[in-house]
């Protein structure tokens, strides 16, 4: 019995250009890695901030940590948009990174332009 090529690749995510595929360009993968870095840093920040662990650590390190975390998220959005526009990347992971970057951009603009 001979298997056709379509049966051999069933269940393996393909690297095409569709929405439900993995990124197919280097720029797309860089956006995904920056998004993963942002998500990891955000999870760490929420874990340390929610439990009230080491107040001195929070006062000294968290402002710098937050800037690095937001910079990763913003960079993920910019690289994701570049991958979408210039390389015609259509992976949902790249779209997610672009949306996170857009969200962070609105957050930063709100902080800069809003009245306190």
Residue 67: CB atoms within 10 Å: 10
pLDDT at site 54: 65
Mean of the pLDDT values across residues 98-102? 96
Q: Rounded to two decimals, what is the model's pTM?
A: 0.77
The residue that leads in pLDDT, 44 or 3, is 44
Mean of the pLDDT values across residues 89-104? 94
pLDDT > 90? residue 114: no
Which own/partner pairs from 82-86 qualify as long-range (CB within 8 Å, at least 24 positions apart)?
82/27, 83/23, 83/25, 83/27, 83/28, 83/30, 83/31, 86/27
């Amino acid at each position: 019995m001979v298997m056709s090529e379509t049966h051999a690749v069933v269940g393996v995510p393909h690297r095409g250009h569709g929405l439900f595929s993995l990124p197919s360009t280097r720029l797309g993968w860089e956006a995904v890695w920056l998004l993963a870095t942002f998500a990891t840093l955000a999870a760490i920040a929420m874990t340390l901030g929610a439990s009230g662990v080491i107040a001195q650590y929070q006062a000294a390190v968290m402002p710098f940590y937050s800037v690095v975390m937001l910079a990763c998220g913003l960079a993920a959005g910019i690289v994701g948009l570049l991958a979408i526009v210039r390389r015609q990347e259509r992976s949902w992971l790249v779209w997610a990174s672009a949306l996170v970057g857009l969200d962070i951009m609105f957050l930063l603009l709100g902080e800069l332009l809003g009245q306190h």
